[in-house]
Structure 1
């Protein structure tokens, strides 16, 4: 089994997702405010949320990276998920995040994203990471921009039009589009 590392920032602990997160994770995915910009945009029932959690954990085993649970260091409270994904059929390794509504607009996605990009460059030695942000999700556009993402393209992905933001490892060439 792959040992999932724990990352820490000033305010957050990026911890391995586990069964102890499941009730809050399932509640987060059952809320249409959280799923609006992901997949088909529909909330998930508990059974499908369980499958989602299992897929995220399996991604670590198959790829050596994946999503973390975001916990506030001062309370241990679960506030969302963030990490790297590259399932079959994805155009590139993607940095993604989901923050529960009552914890948005506090800079947590940006803080987690910075730690994850550092992990991508220093531990995984990736040269480029992308974020696929559904057009209309202006808050996530702003997070991607704060993280240094360059809007390189727009693409239809699984039936939804997305902005493609690219992040490059230090000293890497820029501008690779999907056209």
Structure 2
């Protein structure tokens, strides 16, 4: 059994392929969402059944919004290590760039690389004029990444069934290109 291929473009960076979701990516999502430590900043641990529903939500998001987070795969071994990209759930104040990686992929610069590619994509291809990231206050790793991306804290947000979080505003498309233009090396294919 396989999923119907969606017309989701693929992004390629130096070390990553960001692509549409495949059934085998469920294992990666289980590694993120089924364990309290890895899921604590993405809504908490849930059952495999609920992770399956989360995957369906991610895929369905493309049909409803015209974008969704990409499955992030390492080029060197083809392993799916997480997700990154545009996301806009009902309760969010505006579209965001979200991400999560499996533990073994954290701390290696993959998130920075993937989020740079995602920001370049939403600005250049989707025409976004702004983007945020919603980050729980205790998530020092994501706060550090937001600062590295030159995002700035603009306020707090209370979301249903979630701990208090912060809204971090990313650079405008023009400022992003000025700051990171030469570092955004994603190529896009359909």
Flag whether TM exceeds 0.5 (same fold). yes
- Paired position in structure 2 for 1:4: 8
- Paired position in structure 2 for 1:160: 163
1:24 and 2:19 matched:
no
Residue 137 of structure 1 deviates from its aligned partner by 0.5
Indicate if the aligned counterparts of 1:2 and 1:64 stay in contact, CA closer than 8 A: no
Moved over 4 A (4+): none
Point out the more displaced range, 49-58 or 163-172: 163-172
Q: How does 1:95-114 map to 2 (within 5 A)?
A: 95-114=97-116
1:51 and 2:53 matched:
yes
Q: Give the RMSD, CA atoms, in angstroms.
A: 1.6
2:40 to 21, 36, 41: 36
1:90 and 2:96 matched:
no
TM-score computed with the length of structure 2 as normaliser: 0.84
Structure 2 unmatched ranges of 5 or more: 177-190
* Structure with more of its chain in strand, by fraction: 1
Measure the CA separation in 2 of the matches of 1:61 and 1:155.
Answer: 27
TM-score computed with the length of structure 1 as normaliser: 0.89
Measure the CA separation in 2 of the matches of 1:31 and 1:89.
Answer: 24
Aligned positions, number: 170
Distance 1:137 1:171, change over 3 A: closer
Residue 155 of structure 1 deviates from its aligned partner by 2.1
Indicate if the aligned counterparts of 2:31 and 2:38 stay in contact, CA closer than 8 A: no
Residue 171 of structure 1 deviates from its aligned partner by 5.9
